[in-house]
Amino acid sequence: MVESDKPNDKTGNSHAVLTDGFLLRVFDALDAKDSVALLALLDPLGAEDFADLVHFCSAEQRELLFTLTQTKLNPDVLPLLDETVREDVVEQMAPGQLAEAITSLETDDAVEVMENLDRATQREVLSALPAEERDALRTALSYPEDSAGRLMQRELLAVPDDWNSQQCMEYIRSRHELPEAFYDVFVVNSEGHTLGAVPLHRLLTATIATPIKDIMDEQSQRMPVMMDQREVAYLFQRYGLVSAPVEDEQHRLVGMITIDDVIDIMEEHATEELVHLSGVSEPDFYRDILTTTRSRFTWLFVNLITAMLASWVISFFEGTLQSIVALAVLMPIVASQGGNAGTQTLAVAVRGLALRELTSVNALSFLAKEASVGAFNGLLFAAIISVFAGLWYHNWIIALVIALAMIINMIAAGLAGAFIPLVLNRFKIDPAISSSALVTTVTDVCGYLSFLGLATLFLIK
């Protein structure tokens, strides 16, 4: 969004503006290098809609977009951009211009923009910031990438524990700047330790002389600055929090985390889990061809190795396959069905681990359940495929072989889909990244081994 002379210039239906027709008009204005028409189209857009528009543009169109507007970017757009797209935008901004934009952002948003800059650019931007903001950002950037310290914002409202509600209200009114979004006023003692929080609705309805300690909720969920962001998200979800205080190693209040930031973390982690299960290291929708190719090559290479392992197992039964050609036709069915069943169990297991529904306490019962589900589904599909194979090849021994192999592989799939992510999680390895290839290997090897092994036993004399 370009800066407008009208404050908060947003239309109520700006989301409806981003139609295919609107985008085509923007692209036509870019192609014609018509800055007047372009500014007229962009003027009604809020930050969120402008960020969406930037995502629709190619790298060349984005460069042309900011060249033609010849104006500063609304800083609120920067945290809304995908990391890859943001890099393209930031490259076109001078360090001083970027520093000016970062100065107007909340701490958590400023950190999100800063953390992905290269060290040299970070130093340039930090040197251009006012001393207070520079120190705050340096402190935030010193925390681990996935910690609460990176997620928190330093802008908050905190009052002494000996105040009353009137003093709190006067203090809030006297503040020149307030946090962009806040839901609680935190109560601290003389040492800066958090004692509790007063929800805004309770503060607004309290009588003038009510001691603040009488209407505060004691804070049981405090977030240490070094707490992992996944743990933060879990606590927000578990206890229905809308905001929470963040404390340093001395248990002093240093920041707060609000639900909007936690929702972003939940969405980010959910996206990561989804793409990891597909063998992609991270979302790459906006990345260039070479970068995307490199990022996907690793797991495709792992899958190639596992496929070679399955082929190696098949090689032991070359004589069996040459004797009975029908086995070559039917054996992919067993492996494929097992792979699908294993993936289903794997998805449930990874989700359970992420939400802490699956722990060491109920791991055995989960394994038993998935093995049982595999057995029951194996019996059902065994009945179906055996009838199909028997009628097709008029050989009921082949039908029996594929039926038994189906049952065995479906049970193995259930066990592998449940057991492998549990083991990886136990060794602090992200099960979403590594489990898929391992489960596929187990189901392929077990499927081919059971089917061809049984065929050798029953059919080769």
Q: pLDDT tens digits for 203-253?
A: 999 999 999 999 999 877 899 999 999 999 999 999 999 999 999 999 999
For 248-273, give one letter per residue: b (16+ CB within 10 A) or e. Answer: eeeeebbbbbbbebbebbbeebeebb
User: Between the ranges 5-14, 33-42, 448-457, where is the mean pLDDT highest?
Assistant: 448-457
> In the chain, what is the greatest distance between 2 CA atoms, to the nearest angstrom?
96
Q: ∠ at Cα 289 (287, 290), nearest 5°? A: 100
Per DSSP, what are the bridge partners of residue 258?
243
Q: Is the pLDDT of residue 436 over 70?
A: yes
Q: Confidence class of residue 1 from pLDDT cuts 50, 70 and 90?
A: low
Q: What is the DSSP letter of 74?
A: P
pTM of the shown model = 0.75
Q: Tokens for 359, please give them.
A: 């722990």
Q: How far apart, in whole angstroms, are the C-alpha atoms of residue 379 and residue 410? A: 9
Please report the pLDDT score of residue 10 as a whole number.
42
Mean of pLDDT over the chain: 89
pLDDT at 202 exceeding the cut of 60: yes
d(CA 367, CA 68): 60
Structure tokens at 119: 């060290």
* Cβ contact 210:165 at 8 Å: yes
For residue 24, is pLDDT > 70? yes
DSSP labels for 285-316?
A: TTS-HHHHHHHHHHHHHHHHHHHHHHHHHHHT
Among 249, 265, 256, 191, residue whose Cα is nearest residue 219: 256
Q: Residues in the chain, how many?
A: 461
Percent of the chain's residues with pLDDT above 70: 93
Q: Which domains does the chain have, with CATH numbers?
A: 14-151 (1.25.60.10), 158-257 (3.10.580.10), 289-459 (1.10.357.20)
Query: Using CA atoms, how far apart are residues 13 and 43, in angstroms rounded to an integer?
Result: 13
**Residue 461: is its pLDDT beyond 60?**
yes
- What's the pLDDT tens digit per position in 338-347? 999 999 999 9
Are the C-beta atoms of 188 and 194 separated by less than 8 Å? Answer: yes
Residue 7 confidence (pLDDT): 36
pLDDT in tens, 319-352: 999 889 999 999 999 999 999 999 999 999 998 9
Q: What is the 3-state secondary structure (H, E, C) of 84-101?
A: HHHHHHHHCCCHHHHHHH
113-149 per-position pLDDT tens digit: 999 888 888 998 999 898 888 998 999 999 999 999 9
